[in-house]
Structure 1
């Protein structure tokens, strides 16, 4: 399911996963953390959220997840020469340095990384529905003249069905033209229907 960033929440992702749905976000609300390193700078298991390496490549002496945060202990010399020490999650203690990152921040970081990889696809597929929503608003969905869930669902269903019928008729009459947007393997343009 391709959705806007406002739909990002742990509950939405959990419900989607339980129902076999993969959520693709086109963006995320909020800002990318700038004061601290990104949680994805650390090598973290995406299922257990246990830190396996720091950004410098050091393996922790011990690591665990508890109280909705992942923590790892590193020797003092591992953090001593790191140039981004002031932005790191690491806190110096008596025996070692401890990194504590909220699991929520780890999940958000992993989601941001996957969005960067799939951004072009997510944006183009999500943008295709915007034209349909705009057309439906111009034909009466901007302000419904009925009240109540049942009546609203019936009116919306009829309008969407009407929009689909109009588009099908236009397609059958040859109203949609092919756009040449890329080349095939043999150098001849490959038509893409839009």
Structure 2
């Protein structure tokens, strides 16, 4: 079997609820606090005035923004959707067919029998008859609203990517094709890569 032309390794996903501070962010924050005369955050806590604390926090925020600029994809990934803009095919009535997405690594199985929005924390504000499916994401490479699979009125399948950080790919006959710019036709069987998670896609 030939080697697939995989793109570079995926970037880590961004989580609002992360409690771990990246080393470079911690260093930048401490440097800013040193300039303002704030106490060392790595040392034992000492009393500080309210004015020092506020000034240090403002300086730390400025240093963080300068230290690590964010891409548009990362910014979009951190915003909850008030509503989801879907292609016209996404909510189309279609003949009754069922497919499965199966991730051997996590053991997760998803039934695709209607339009489905896939992601780490997908929007729940969806049209009637469309479902959101939260994908297990052990490596944190799946975006909040990552990709969608839909049926058209003839029962044909389509897949589209929602400007995800690490992309959506279709793998068939040892060839990997990136889903980008517009929705693509999807045929089973094949393998779908979402972030760095691989899903076999088959008709039931």
- Give the TM-score normalised by the residue count of structure 2: 0.21
Structure holding more strand per residue: 2
- Give the TM-score normalised by the residue count of structure 1: 0.22
Structure holding more helix per residue: 1
Structure of greater relative contact order (alpha carbons < 8 Å, 6+ residues apart): 2
